[in-house]
Structure 1
């Protein structure tokens, strides 16, 4: 097993441990379709589905998720949000996880969170 795959396992990103969320809870506007957070979330869903993902993409994903989890943040989306630390094109942003987002380690905001 490569070091990257071992890191993915260490961070709980193996198929058995990944959230079963199948779809994003938002409609993403065209200007945000290639945003870095959306690219990482696509990798999230590919890993979740058990699809093959190149090691370099897993490595980027693992580091991105580790930064979110270290701060207990989730990714949220609002098309009106300006460019920020999470997304150079805006739309996506991170915010502290709320209990209503889901359990600790959740990375995607729940749209009905408090």
Structure 2
């Protein structure tokens, strides 16, 4: 059964907001296997909805919902920005950890 375009768009927006919440949670949020699994599940569901949306509806039908689509674009921009920030933060943490381990090893020599 083909879902209503409004329902698909609303679902995509809800999942985008859910992803933003997961990615912008404080540093105590566990992005381990469980956290990554949750993110992957949402991303996969969201992707399927996008595919259904663009395979089912034509340009004119989508144009009628341009404000919702624009909102999705804005959420996606925030998602990309947040993901890039997480990536940078992870690199910084890894770099600090490596430097810390080098210091520990060098002190162990003496």
Give the TM interval when normalised to the shorter protein.
Answer: under 0.3
TM-score, normalised by the number of residues in structure 2: 0.27
Structure (1 or 2) with the greater helix fraction: 2
TM-score, normalised by the number of residues in structure 1: 0.26
Answer with 1 or 2: which has the greater Rg: 2
